[in-house]
Amino acid sequence: MPLYKTITVDQSTNVLIWKIEESYESLCEGIELTTHCQNRVNGMKSEMHRRAFMSVRHLLAIFGYTDHDLYYDEFGKPHLTDGKQISITHSYEFAGVIVSDKPVGIDIEKQREKIQRIAHKFVNEFENESIIKQDSDKTRALTVIWGAKESLYKLYATAGLSFEQHIFISPFELEYPFIYGAISYKDQISHYDMSFLEFEGFTCVYAQQAVEE
């Protein structure tokens, strides 16, 4: 079982990361899908996507859930039938799930230099300071920002939210794996605590709402 990482964020929040090494047929063993999800996976043209889909179901099983405990709302946000909060991600050979009593988001991204060509689409002026500081590691820094915004987008799950205009990531150092973010949308501002980790050329970021003091 290639459970790659287990992270205890706090008493009610846990992250599991799976390294996808098995075949699709092997990943299907012991997993029962709902009819809807079976149809979804049958319709996937990418073998990698099918394997990632099944890997997530194995992560759910480690948490004590089955595919029948998972459902999606009209925004595509996943939910658990027992009321706990969940967020799901996968990228190439890695899949991740975070489960908590609080709203959470998670994202895994492969570090690729082409992210520098699209940075203007999701980085705002407020965040340029972090990019300038990390000039020699610009790809890594941009991947952290993208992952942070993606995890917040999943957590917030509201139509019309813009990565560039509504999500802000505070300056950070790659050597210090804690970052802070805010969402400013429709005259409401909310603040978030995030952490990131890097492994095998990938970046994982997970987020939860900041505790108000």
- Looking at residue 35, which CATH number applies to its domain? 3.90.470.20
- Is 134 a residue whose pLDDT tops 70? no
Query: What is the three-class DSSP state of 211?
Result: coil
One domain for residues 35 and 65: yes
pLDDT tens column, 64-75: 999 999 999 988
Count: domains in the chain: 2
How crowded is residue 92: how many other Cβ atoms within 10 Å of its Cβ?
14
One domain for residues 158 and 192: yes
Q: What is the pLDDT of residue 2?
A: 86
pLDDT tens column, 6-32: 999 999 999 999 999 999 999 999 999
One domain for residues 112 and 93: no
* pLDDT band (50, 70, 90) for residue 213: low
pLDDT tens column, 53-64: 999 999 999 999
One domain for residues 20 and 61: yes
Which of 64, 85, 102 is the last residue before a domain boundary?
102
Domain of 145, in residue numbers: 107-209
* pLDDT band (50, 70, 90) for residue 114: very high
Query: What is the three-class DSSP state of 186?
Result: coil
One domain for residues 186 and 123: yes
- Is 204 a residue whose pLDDT tops 60? yes
One domain for residues 149 and 80: no
Q: What is the pLDDT of residue 34?
A: 93
Nearest to 192 by CA among 165, 153, 152: 152
